[in-house]
Chain A
């Protein structure tokens, strides 16, 4: 290797999976990207997107200088009349406006960022907090893919999401998930682990409206109507608990709130002195606090006199509650045959091997080789909380949570590098003994839940503390709701990083209307997109191959493989130097920090957020470059000798995982809720605030036990709209970002599904449709998108599936323009299409095909 011919270790940035890569550079030109075999994150593997990053780097349409809008008129397809300006001129204007807003009311700053590039998350979040704005979101992220799944992942697994224990699981059910078969979190390692699991004999049942990436490699595909996952799940829970009589009594008694006594008011019966929830001690025949060390055995069934009321354990209430959800009832909603629901429930319960143990690394541990995995497909609905809650109960009732073979949160426990003990985190018991995550990603923890309050953020989030982001950030009725709740300000500046919210949120007309109301928009971009048309200033960003980041895969609950193996902490570093006037956003933010006068805030936040330690802490009043911050973070975790220079040379540091980190559940005294008692109190408090502002309220969404609740698409009565439309993640693309990459575009054009509308072949023939025919998809709200039909056996007869998030129209995207379909243009973004419990958007739509 020479200076002119070298390999540089870094990380991918074409999806949030952020796999480790190494780039081959010849004469300062990147000529090849491969996976980095030295890192656990990818283990040398790389997907089609990853190897294509070279084309994004060398895109001839990259933004290379700051741009200023000259056309004051904003709208879809309106030319901004860009004029190149200097960085000094651009930052003078941006800093001046930010300073004015900061001094007036910091809440008037609206921060938006993409989910694609994980490296911007920490700098942007720290900047937002230092500035003092609560208004930040991921441009549809959360509304589509996480307000439910991540919430439930956090409450039950202290993790952002979950995967089967690929190394030991024998039977996994995926509900709208593709872990190990497509894109997303640690995609490349998961793909290898899933492939190994298939060879080992793991059975995989995929419940999904479409048979694509996971189903194609599964043992069985179970077609289901969108948004009805809870119906099937509730019937399965009923079959397991009431027909088969299978549950893991020890797990439920010691690791959940199943034994907590529930009174007639649906709340815990509490100890009069300590206020702790009571359980029934079968040994002593009396109620005791849940954490009484002398309790001989905790009742899961029966009815008892406790605290002056008749009370039943939460588990007994759950078991009784689910009796109403028969497989025949579920079939009517989901179309999954009742016999199939019974069979799959029986297979799951049998394969769970409740009571069995296994020895791993000399330790005898519970062995439950089944996993129910849910993600975007199950969660992307108005009813996402109850969908995900129900499906998680499958893991909980058989004790298959973070034990050998079961559903694993990825990496909620880390005891650090052997030489430093860092990073270190583990879940701990919180209020009522329920688990609090050891580390987290989003603006607030999944548990404990704050008291709801009169909302002061654009998302109305304070009133809905279970939601990460809300529809009102870009909804049709945002002004109406803000007025209703007397929001005391309106956004005056948006700071956007790489997001294209015109395509990523919902129908673009609504989003465009909300953007035109924001007086000044600044956007960090690598190419000009549909969003850029609404910007006043565009700042030329470096691509991930020109950027530095000390923490591309941190926290480990987001982007690190689960299961046994190694820990790896890689860095991102420039593989090549940036061209033109491109500057890394994090550096620009630090300059703005000083110009606005919020350095003290930023440095304090950096110290706590990045866990900077000892001599590596930032002095509150000293300016630092982003490279210096990165250096201090690495030294804080791995010692003074392993700073940025060490990592530049080595790329990654790895160390072995311990068994108590991987299969942590038996080792930690934390419980999780099979009964959401906290929703009862939350409902009462939030409803009072909402009703006072004239917001209608349905208590059903706050039921402490899971149920199936219909989404707007389930309630369309007009028979002309006879199909459910949904979009799915195309493994060839990430959001709308990679459509401009010519290699990926070529692959997508060769793929029969990437740019087409998948229609069930029998349904299509009945409608007289043929392959390749151009049709409109039309919603009951008169929204339309156009595309070509692809007849296939691989989609539910009642559904049409659209790949990815394409359909660009910007002239600045010559590769992507006019290709594929923007399904989101069919979605309503308003209060009625959002969840009143976690603010999730309904991403399915009832539609009809118009030839």
Chain B
């Protein structure tokens, strides 16, 4: 992922905090980066245990991973829209799967 100086603030919730070793991090992303790009970068930074927690198989995000941008749940294919301010991204693995959406 190319770095352009745009900074995203990432918060690790639940057990991801333990795997990341801290609760928050600042990550530089490309202008057109998606959340999937961000997750790839996080997996590279935090190693195989973190990667296997967020990816079901290499490159395929785990079904129970949830990503929030400014507290709104987002899809990993979404681009990181910052609205001029540093986006607050929170990542979390949920215990079970319920609901469903279109």
Contacts and interface: CB of A to CB of B under 8 A. Distances in A.
Interface of A: 105-107, 122, 125-126, 128-134, 136, 423-426, 431, 436-445, 448, 450-451, 453, 456, 554-555, 600-601, 604-605, 607-611, 617, 619-620
B99 A439 contact: yes
A555 B96 CA distance: 11
A609 B94 CA distance: 8
Contact of B95 (A443, A448, A610, A620): A443
B75 interface: no
Contacts of A439: 97-100
B90 A604 contact: yes
Given A440-B96, A605-B66, 9 more contacts: A136-B95, A441-B98, A448-B63, A450-B57, A600-B90, A604-B66, A608-B73, A608-B92, A609-B96
A128 B11 CA distance: 18
Most chain A beta-carbon neighbours within 10 Å: one of B14, B56, B68, B93 = B14
Contacts of B60: 431, 448
24 contacts: A106-B15, A125-B96, A128-B95, A130-B13, A131-B14, A134-B15, A424-B100, A425-B100, A437-B97, A438-B100, A440-B96, A442-B96, A445-B97, A448-B63, A450-B57, A600-B11, A600-B13, A600-B90, A605-B14, A605-B95, A607-B68, A609-B94, A610-B98, A611-B98
A-B pairs, 10 with minimum CB distance: A425-B100, A132-B15, A611-B99, A129-B95, A125-B95, A440-B97, A438-B100, A450-B56, A601-B13, A132-B14
Contacts of B98: 122, 439-441, 554-555, 609-611
Contacts of A442: 96
B95 to A, nearest CB: 4
A46 B68 CA distance: 43
Interface residues of B, number: 31
Nearest to B58: A451
B26 interface: no
Interface in B35-70: 49, 52, 56-58, 60, 62-64, 66, 68
A296 to B, nearest CB: 32
A450 B54 CA distance: 10
Given A107-B15, A601-B13, A605-B92, A451 B100 contact: no
Nearest to B48: A453
Most chain B beta-carbon neighbours within 10 Å: one of A107, A451, A601, A619 = A601
B97 A605 contact: no
B9 interface: no
Contacts of A107: 15, 18
B4 to A, nearest CB: 28
Nearest to B62: A450
B95 A424 contact: no
A442 B64 CA distance: 11
Nearest to A423: B99
Contacts of A133: 15
Contacts of B18: 105-107, 132
Most chain A beta-carbon neighbours within 10 Å: one of B52, B90, B98 = B98
A129 B14 contact: yes
A445 B94 contact: no
Interface string B6-33: 0000010111011000000000000000
Contact of B63 (A122, A125, A445): A445
Contact of B14 (A105, A130, A431): A130
A779 to B, nearest CB: 35
Looking at chain A's contact residues, is the secondary structure mostly helix, strand, loop, or mixed?
A: loop
A423 B101 CA distance: 8
Nearest to A413: B100
B87 to A, nearest CB: 15
A105 B18 CA distance: 8
A634 to B, nearest CB: 14
Given A133-B15, A450-B57, A605 B94 contact: yes
Given A439-B100, A609-B96, A601 B14 contact: yes
Contacts of B14: 129-132, 601, 605
A81 to B, nearest CB: 35
Interface string B67-86: 01001010000000000000
Contacts of B15: 106-107, 132-134
B31 to A, nearest CB: 27
A451 B92 CA distance: 19
Contact of B64 (A126, A441, A444): A444
Contacts of A426: 100
B66 A608 contact: yes
Contacts of B66: 604-605, 608
Contacts of A125: 95-96
Nearest to A551: B98
Nearest to B17: A132
Contacts of B62: 450
Nearest to A127: B95
B100 A441 contact: no
A425 B94 contact: no
Contacts of A456: 49
A424 B68 contact: no
Contacts of A443: 64, 95-96
A463 to B, nearest CB: 12
Contacts of B101: 424-425, 611
Contacts of A126: 95
A844 to B, nearest CB: 29
B99 A425 contact: yes
Nearest to A600: B13
Nearest to A438: B100
A450 B15 CA distance: 18
A784 to B, nearest CB: 39
Nearest to A608: B66
B100 to A, nearest CB: 3
Contacts of B96: 125, 440-443, 609
B100 A604 contact: no
Nearest to B15: A132
A438 B28 CA distance: 35
Nearest to A104: B18
A620 B99 CA distance: 20
Contacts of A620: 71, 90
Most chain A beta-carbon neighbours within 10 Å: one of B15, B49, B56, B62 = B15
A351 B101 CA distance: 38
A706 to B, nearest CB: 25
Nearest to A412: B100
Contact of A129 (B58, B68, B94, B102): B94
B94 A423 contact: no
B57 A451 contact: yes
Contacts of A444: 63-64, 97
A123 B71 CA distance: 20
A655 to B, nearest CB: 18
A113 to B, nearest CB: 12
Contacts of B13: 130, 600-601, 604
A440 B60 CA distance: 19
A126 B97 CA distance: 11
Contacts of A619: 71
A617 B100 contact: no
A555 B99 CA distance: 7
B21 to A, nearest CB: 13
A451 B52 contact: yes
Nearest to A436: B63
